[in-house]
Amino acid sequence: MAAKIESRVTTSHWGAFRVFTDGNRIVGTEPFAADPNPSRIPEALAAAVHHKTRVARPSFRRGWLAGADRARERRGRDEFVELPWDEALDIVAAELQRVIATHGNGSIFGGSYGWASAGRFHHALSQLHRFLNVSGGYVSSVASYSTAAAQAIIPHVFGIPFLKMYLDDQNAWPTIARHTQTLVMFGGINPKNSQVSMGGVTHHETDGWFRAFDRAGMRRINISPQITDSPKGAEWLAVIPGTDTALMLGLAHVLETEGLVERDFLARCCTGYERFRAYLLGASDGIAKTPEWAAAICGIDAEVQRTLARSMASTRTLITVAWSLQRAQNGEQPYWMAATLASMLGQIGLPGGGIGYGYGAIGAIGVSVKRLEGLTFPQGENPVKDFIPVARIADMLLNPGAPYDFNGARRNYADIRLVYWCGGNPFHHHQDLNRLQEAFRQPETVIVHEPWWTATAQRADIVLPATTPYEREDIGRAMGDSYLFHMPQLIAPVGEARNDFDIFSELAQRMGIEPAFTEGRSATEWLSQMYDKFRDDARAQQIDLPELDELRRQNWIDLPLRSEEFAAVPFAGFREDPEAAPLATPSGRIEIFSATVASFDYAECPGHACWIAPDEWLGSQMASRYPLHLVSPQPGDKLHSQMECALADARGARPGAIEINSADADARGLKDGDLARVFNERGACRARIHVSDDIRVGVVSLPTGAWLDADSAGTDTQGNPNILTRDLGTSRIGQGCSAHTTLVEVVRLDP
């Protein structure tokens, strides 16, 4: 007799959806009825959850079990041995205790990222960090691959943490629709990217707002090498990648020399403009940053620049900057320069004017919603104070003890003996994966919790099978969303998978720290405790929530948090009276020149925004060997690399598509659908050619998300762009990733 088909709603980082189950199998999904533009990502869910690449049992690399030096050079090429859970946990606990006793907790790196699950309790990062904290601590990481350069520079300029700024101190979509006349989008605003958000986005609304902009007659300018980085209807300025700062300087030169600068705003609300002005006009370096100067760098005609600058000065203008611009060498500069340009226009603090960062990057930005914080699994305090900028993991593993600079401080990399990773796949999102592979061979032990045999799991020593969000109970809630979800356990764990909390509880028991980790609570009891506290906190803000059992029954509720009344005008109070509402910068003003940054004495990041040519771009010497600039945007069919196993099957295990302009394709004898080799001095991958005139000549686009799978020659077969990207810090200020500073060549492969 066939099992009864059942369905429940759950949520994810890409939104809510209904899941259909047949016994212990997921058999399908359908969109959440209240979502105006639901993501199609869940369509791959059933195939992914039950995929043959699931980790079935605790697995140990054979060379590691053999001892001695544990054959570290065989990571990524060795066989794995399956062991029973009790034996596996005994070995892991003993190894942790050995490393702590021999080398100290400062030799452990706790690697994790926050995208594994939208559930608030089964949050891999929180689970791992709490466990390591009660174990005595670990070397941590700061910032994110998405926004590390911005997180470093924005506090120097605005005195605001970048996370707070992009969520709370930017114009909301309704305000933009009502007041903005000219929307200048450096890097575009791509609705594809806004289908995801930390913790989930239930209303996918970016596309809808752009239709409203169109009806309102708003002028929109997409400054990007790809026309598809903005919804249709925008003017396209096909800028050379990595040169946006030069273009902004050209626009600023027009404002300054044509008397279009709002000097009252600069005098009241900013500091250091005269220092920047000397650079802009060439008084400090002998080079005036004219539109002609900028055109030779960025590829945008000088007269187009002049016309745009005049239009920006004569209309209510909002300048937006995509996160992608700061994921490049000197990525701090376009963010600082955009703030400078907006200050010169003098519209910061006016509704629909000023500056905004990351619209379209995630779904929470621009949403007019009251923020409810809380509902988090407490991580505790880390006794180890050492950390690295998150994108510098390969540097740390390859150079123990070596000095490095970060945001004005001189630091030294830790000597890491054990890496413990949960909830992430660095062999997807890190740069120069051949270098990362060598780095991963340095520690004595690498432990991973993972549902699938990803490239990271394959390069570990110990792989413990973890449940997916559909195999455990949780609660979903995002600060940028009005919905609260009970996330029911939909199926039994696949194979012998266990959730992170149960794994860490067992390890903690073996290590004698179980009371500190669990506090005597089961997973269900922790969920109740977290929810009750969240409910009390919400009640204090006049928001009534049902009891947990009632939420379980209802499955989800829409809280009264969405309203245009929550769309405050950013910096309005500061603009009105900077003395009464100063910023948290040293001057209390927007710092066009920062004495703090200048004191760091970094040649690549002086005290004001400036153009510094990257080492690798279309104007560099390297372009004679690798004449195509590679951009690697987020994929449209998945979140990062999640569920790629099922998607690769659906496309016949062929590599992903690389977009190339028809002129570049013709010059190389490439046709749509051809198999090609994409390469540079760091590595090579295969990709399927997609010929299009929606991308600038000299630029190719290969999305991230492929699982690394190298052939015998070391060529990735799936189209992972990070086999090609450069593992270099953005600058000594932010030390973020420089993925978009990459040159390549593309040649046809015989079938």
Half-sphere exposure of 649 (CA within 13 A, CB side): 12
475 residue type, one letter: I
Cα–Cα distance for residue pair 196/206, rounded to 1 Å? 11
Q: Which residue, chain included where needed, has tokens 């009371």?
A: 515
Pick from 307, 309, 303, 359: which is nearest to 185 by CA? 359
Among the listed residues 113, 470, 556, 611, the single catalytic one is: 113
Among the listed residues 64, 115, 138, 483, the single catalytic one is: 115
**Overall residue count recorded for the chain in this entry:** 751
CA separation, residue 300 to residues 219, 489, 567, 578, 585 (Å): 18, 54, 35, 36, 34
209 is catalytic: no
Q: Please list the helix, strand and coil fractions of the chain in percent, rounded to the nearest 5, in that order.
A: 35, 20, 45
C-beta separation of 271 from 589 below 8 A: yes
180 residue type, one letter: T
| Start-to-end C-alpha separation, the chain | 48
C-beta separation of 135 from 96 below 8 A: yes
Question: For residue 419, what is the DSSP state?
Answer: E
Pick from 184, 300, 306, 190: which is nearest to 240 by CA? 300
Q: Torsions phi, psi of 129, nearest 5?
A: -65, -35
C-beta separation of 572 from 354 below 8 A: no
Residue 666: CB atoms within 10 Å: 12
C-beta separation of 323 from 361 below 8 A: yes
293 is catalytic: no
> Residue 716 in 3-state DSSP?
strand
Query: Between vectors from CA 743 to CA 739 and to CA 746, what angle results, nearest 5°?
Result: 120
Q: Which residue, chain included where needed, has tokens 């924005």?
A: 154
Query: Between vectors from CA 734 to CA 406 and to CA 138, what angle results, nearest 5°?
Result: 60
| Burial class (CB within 10 angstroms; exposed 0-12, middle 13-18, buried 19+) of 266 | buried
**Cα Rg, the chain, nearest whole Å:** 26
Which two structure tokens, joined as six digits, stand for 682? 């760091």
Cα–Cα distance for residue pair 358/636, rounded to 1 Å? 17
Q: Where are the beta strands (DSSP E) in 338-408?
A: 354-357, 387-389, 403-406
Helices (H), ranges, 512-554: 514-518, 523-540, 548-554
> What's the per-residue H, E or C state across 717-729?
CCCCHHHCCECCC
Question: Annotated catalytic sites, by residue?
Answer: 113, 115
